[in-house]
Amino acid sequence: MMKSVLKFVFLFATILSVATLSAQNMTPEQVLQKQLETYNNRDIDGFMSVIDETITIHNFSTGMITVDGYDACKAFYEKLFKNSPELHSTILNRTVFGNKVIDHERIIGRNGNDDVLELVLVYEVKDEKIIKIWVLKEEG
């Protein structure tokens, strides 16, 4: 009986260790998939769980930093989620290149607007957190 209990405890501990390691080793693509799912659910805590303290968001065309730091990022997305009950992003194309993920996205419901917004976003991921985002809008 004691051997059975010890085997069970060992098996349970092994499974728990593997599950914990798996959860802690997200690829850049998995980080971005979590970011997308939490964005579409307007889940600010889940969304911010993959955002680094040093996050910067850049306008690709001008090179200007539009969001600088975790607190500014959280404030920006809290306001966006609050003002966008129908917010939804669809990935039209995703390319992963090392620690960079490039998404061509179609966004609807932004700030209550019916317009469709298409963007290309380049995300840089380090240690399972998004550290930089470059936003490209179509000129015209």
Residue 117 lies in a domain: yes
Burial class (CB in 10 A: 0-12, 13-18, 19+), 39: buried
What is the span of the domain harbouring residue 78?
Answer: 26-137
Burial class (CB in 10 A: 0-12, 13-18, 19+), 101: buried
Query: What is the pLDDT at residue 138?
Result: 86
Identify the band that residue 126 occupies on the pLDDT scale cut at 50, 70 and 90: very high
CATH code, 48: 3.10.450.50
pTM (2 d.p.): 0.81
Q: DSSP 3-state assignment of 73?
A: helix
Q: What percent of the chain has pLDDT over 90?
A: 79
Residue 30 lies in a domain: yes
Backbone φ, ψ for residue 73 (5° rounding): -65, -45
Residue 70 lies in a domain: yes
Structure tokens at 63: 């090179």
Residue 109 lies in a domain: yes
Domain count, the chain: 1
Find the mean pLDDT for residues 26-54.
98
pLDDT of 30 strictly over 70? yes
Residue 7 lies in a domain: no
Identify the band that residue 13 occupies on the pLDDT scale cut at 50, 70 and 90: low
Residue 38 lies in a domain: yes
